[in-house]
Amino acid sequence: MITYDHVTKIFGEGQDTVTALEDVTFTIEKGEIVIFLGPSGCGKTTTLRLTNRLESITRGTIEVNGKNIMDMDTVQLRRQMGYVIQDIGLFPNKTIADNVAVVPKLLGWPKNKIQDRIDELLTMVRLDPEIYRNRYPAELSGGQQQRVGVARGLAADPEILLMDEPFGAIDPINREEIQDEFLKVQEKLKKTIAFVSHDIHEAIKMGDKIALFENGRLVQYERPEILLTQPKNKYVSDFVGADRALKVLGIIKVGEVFNPEPQNVVQGFEPAQTVLNIMDQKKEKFYVVVDQDKPVGYVTKKMIKYEKGPVSAVAEKFPVHLRKRTPTRDALSYMLMHDFQTLCVVDEKNSFQGTVTYDDIQLKIRESYAGEEDQ
Amino acid sequence: MDTLNFIIKNYTNVLFLTWEHIFMVSISLIIATAIGVPLGIVITKNENLAKKVINGANIIMTVPSIALFGLMMPVLALIGHGLGKVPAIIALILYSQLPIIRNTYVAIKNVSPSMRNAGRGMGMNRWQLLKEVEIPIAIPVIVAGLRTAAVMNIGIAAIAAYVGAGGLGVYIQNGIDRVYPEMILAGALLVSIFAILVDAGMALLERALTPTGILIQKRLSE
C-alpha cells in the first residue's frame, strides 16, 4: 500500500520555482495497478519519482505500508521497489542475465539463488533462458528488451513496482501483446503497481484505478469505467475523449449486459411450421435454434416458410459466439461486421448461456451515463 | 639504405635512445592517466568546474612545446632540474591532460540519462553506478583519449631532446646541427615507426577493454 498525503513538490529555489505537484492525496491499495495519467508536465512522473526518492518531497508525506519513506534509507527503499522505465535503461555492457541480476546482486543474494531467479523471470516474460541468458541487450528487439526490463524490475520480488511509461517505446502491435502478457503475470503476482502513462487506452486497459493529473493537481482518482462515464469536469471528459462511450465498451464485458433468458429461442427438433406460427404470433423475425444446450444457429421467417422438417435442418450457423468475458466493444464490432443484431453467449463447453443484442449494449451504455447532462 | 646502415651500425645507441623515448612517454602517460581520468569523472558533477578545467587544459595545449620547456626551465631550475627528463615528463603530462580529461568527461556525460536513472532507481549508490555502468560504457572513448595523448606525446618527446631529455629526438637534433641526413632520417623514421606501433597497440587495447555488449551494439548499429 502506498499513501500520498498532501504531497507537494516545488522545483528550483527563490524566485525561480516551478510547482510540479500540489497537495496530492490518494492511496494505492495493495495488489492494485494504478495508472498515473495525464499530458506531459502534469506531475505524473514526478509523483512516481517522489515515491522512490529520486526526487525529494517539498511538503507532505508518502508512506509505504504505513512507514514514512523519509525515515527509510534511500538505497534500501529503492532496492525494495521494482523500477521499470520508458527507455528501458538496460545496461548495454551487461548480458541479459546480469541485467536481470542487478538488484539481487546489490542485495547480496547467493549466486545459485540468483541463477535460478534469472531463469524463472526470463521464462515468465517468455524469453527462453537457454537462448537469451548470455545475449546482450543490443541483440534483442525493442519488445524483447522491454520484457527484460520488466523481468529486471521484478527480480528481487519487490512488493511494489514503479513503472514509468514502460511500454512507451514499443510499436503498437507489440505493445498490445506485452500489455496482455504483463496483465497475466500481474494476475499471478498481485504486485502493488504505480504505472505512469499518457495513453488513455493503456490506462483503461491496464488500470484498476486511474489517477488523472492536470498541472500538478490530482483531478480525479477512480476506476476506469467511472472515469469514462462520470468525468468530474470538462478537463477529464476532454482527456478521455469524445469517443469515451466506445472506450467504456472496452471495459464492460458481455457478461454484464447479456440476456440469460431470451424469449426468441427454440429447440432444434421443433417443426419449422410450428415455429413459423409462433413467430407470426409474437411478431419476432429472428429465432435462435438450440440443440440440447448447444446453439446450432438461427432462423428467420423467410428461411423456414417452405420447410417441412425440423428447424435445425434450415438453421444457419452464427459466424461467431461470444463469451461472458468478451468486451462489449468486440461484440458490437462482430455485429457490425456480420450484420447481426443478436449473437449467442456460450461458456467454455460451448453451452448456450443466453444472447446479446445491440439494444442490450445500448441500454447498458445509457445507464452508465444516466444523470449526465448532454454536452 | 644509408639510413638503414646508420641504424645497424649504431644499434646499441639506437636501442638506448628508443628506451629513453619509451620511458618518457609511458611514465608520463601513466601519471597523466592517474590525474586526468579521475579529474574528468569528478568534473561531470560540476558544470562550472568542468568548463574551467577543460579551458585550462586547452590553454596548456596551445602553448608551443618549445615555449613550455622555456617557461618551465627557470621554475624547475630552483630544484635543480631545469634540463633533462624532469621538464620533459612534466610537459608530456601537461599536454596529455586535454585529450584525457576531455574524452573522459564527454564519455561519462554521454552515458544516457536513462541508464543513470535506471541504476539509481534500482538502488545503486554513486560508486556502484560508476563502476558497473558509467565507466564500462565510457571506456572506449576514455581509451581513445589515452591513444591520442600517447601518439601526440611521442612527437613532443622528440622535441624534448632540446632540453637534454634524450630519446630519439637526439638524432634529429644532432643530425640537423651536423648536417648529417642519415642521422636525421634515422631519428625521424624511428619516431614515426614508434608512433604508428603505439597507435596500433592502443587501438587493440581500446578493443580489448571495450565490453562485449558495447562492441555488439556498435557493430549492429553500423
Tell me whether strands A81-84 and A160-164 are parallel, antiparallel or unpaired: parallel
B209 close contact with A: CB closer than 8 A: no
pLDDT, position A370: 63
Query: Which pLDDT tens digit goes with each residue over A83-113?
Result: 998 777 899 999 999 999 999 999 999 999 9
Query: Which pLDDT tens digit goes with each residue over A53-93?
Result: 999 999 999 999 989 999 999 888 998 899 998 777 899 99
Is the same domain home to A154 and A267?
A: no
Instruction: Identify residue B202 by its one-letter amino acid code.
Output: M
Residue numbers of B between 95 and 154 with CB closer than 8 Å to A: 112, 114-115, 117-125, 128, 132-133, 136-137
Is the same domain home to A266 and A328?
A: yes
* Residue count (chain A): 375
pLDDT exceeding 70 applies to what percent of chain A? 98
Instruction: Report residues of chain B scoring pLDDT below 50.
Output: none
State how far residue B116 is from chain A, nearest Cα, in angstroms. Answer: 8
Closest by Cα among B126, B128, B221, B222 to A92: B221
Is the same domain home to A153 and A12?
A: yes
pLDDT exceeding 90 applies to what percent of chain A? 41
A148 close contact with B: CB closer than 8 A: no
**What's the CA gap between B92 and B23, in Å, rounded?**
12
> How many structural domains compose chain A?
2
**What's the CA gap between B23 and A336, in Å, rounded?**
84
- Substitution target in B110, B120, B122, B137 with the highest count of A β-carbons within 10 Å is B122
Residue holding cell 562492441? B215
Is the same domain home to A120 and A12?
A: yes
State how far residue B54 is from chain A, nearest Cα, in angstroms. Answer: 28
Grid cell for residue B144: 581513445
- Residue A375, pLDDT above cutoff 50: no
**What's the CA gap between A303 and B86, in Å, rounded?**
108
Nearest by CB: A93 against B117, B128, B137:
B137
Query: Which residues in chain B are closer than 8 Å to A93, comparing Cβ atoms?
Result: 133, 136-137, 211, 213-214
Residue B41 · residue B104 · CB < 8 Å: yes
What pLDDT band is residue A218 in, cutting at 50, 70 and 90? Answer: very high
Is the same domain home to A224 and A77?
A: yes
CA end-to-end distance (rounded Å), chain A: 38
pLDDT, position A238: 86
Chain centroid to CA B195: how far? 11
Is the same domain home to A229 and A263?
A: no
B31 close contact with A: CB closer than 8 A: no
Query: Which pLDDT tens digit goes with each residue over A284-296?
Result: 888 889 888 889 8
Closest by Cα among B205, B204, B221, B201 to B213: B221
Q: Which residue of A has its CA nearest to B115?
A: A89
Buried b (16+ CB within 10 A) or exposed e, A64-85: beeeebeeeebeebbbbbbbbb
pLDDT, position A176: 85
Grid cell for residue A350: 460451448
Q: A162–B121: do the CB atoms touch at under 8 Å?
A: yes
- Helix count (H) and strand count (E) of chain B? 11, 0
pLDDT, position A178: 86
Mean pLDDT value of segment A191-211: 92
Nearest by CB: B118 against A76, A89, A93:
A89
> What 3-state class would DSSP assign to B83?
coil
- Residue A268, pLDDT above cutoff 80: yes
- The CATH code of the domain that includes A298 is 3.10.580.10
In a domain, A373, yes or no: no
Is the same domain home to A276 and A187?
A: no
Residue holding cell 543490443? A138
Is the same domain home to A262 and A230?
A: no
Query: Which pLDDT tens digit goes with each residue over A165-185?
Result: 888 878 888 888 888 888 988
In a domain, A333, yes or no: yes
> What 3-state class would DSSP assign to B179?
coil
B165's CB contacts (< 8 A; 6+ apart) are B20, B24, B83, B84, B85, B87, B88, B89, B157
Residue A239 · residue A228 · CB < 8 Å: no
Beta bridge partners of A211: A36, A221
Query: Which pLDDT tens digit goes with each residue over A326-345?
Result: 888 888 888 888 888 889 99
Query: Which pLDDT tens digit goes with each residue over A108-160?
Result: 999 999 999 999 999 988 899 999 999 999 999 888 898 899 899 999 889 99
- Substitution target in A53, A56, A91 with the highest count of B β-carbons within 10 Å is A91
pLDDT, position A220: 94
- Residue A194, pLDDT above cutoff 50: yes
What are the DSSP calls for B139-151, one per residue?
HHHHHHHHHHHHH
* CATH assignment, B2-221: 1.10.3720.10
Instruction: Identify residue B198 by its one-letter amino acid code.
Output: V
- Residue A372, pLDDT above cutoff 70: no
Host domain of residue A342:
255-365
pLDDT, position A374: 47
- The CATH code of the domain that includes A54 is 3.40.50.300
B78 close contact with A: CB closer than 8 A: no
Of the two residues A192 and A230, the one the predictor is more confident about is: A192
SS (H, E, C) chain A: CEEEEEEEEEECCCCCCEEEEEEEEEEECCCCEEEEECCCCCCHHHHHHHHCCCCCCCEEEEEECCEEHHHCCHHHHHHCEEEECCCCCCCCCCCHHHHHCHHHHHCCCCHHHHHHHHHHHHHHCCCCHHHHCCCCHHHCCHHHHHHHHHHHHHCCCCCEEEEECCCCCCCHHHHHHHHHHHHHHHHHHCCEEEEEECCHHHHHHHCCEEEEEECCEEEEEECHHHHHHCCCCHHHHHHHCCCHHHHHHHHCEHHHHCECCCCCEEECCCEHHHHHHHHHHHCCCEEEEEECCEEEEEEEHHHHCCCCCEHHHCCECCCCCECCCCEHHHHHHHHHHHCCCEEEEECCCCCEEEEEEHHHHHHHHHHHCCCCCCC
Closest by Cα among B195, B115, B112, B102 to B141: B102
pLDDT, position B71: 86
Query: Which residues in chain A are closer than 8 Å to B120, comparing Cβ atoms?
Result: 54, 78
A94 close contact with B: CB closer than 8 A: yes
In a domain, A374, yes or no: no
What pLDDT band is residue A371 in, cutting at 50, 70 and 90? Answer: low
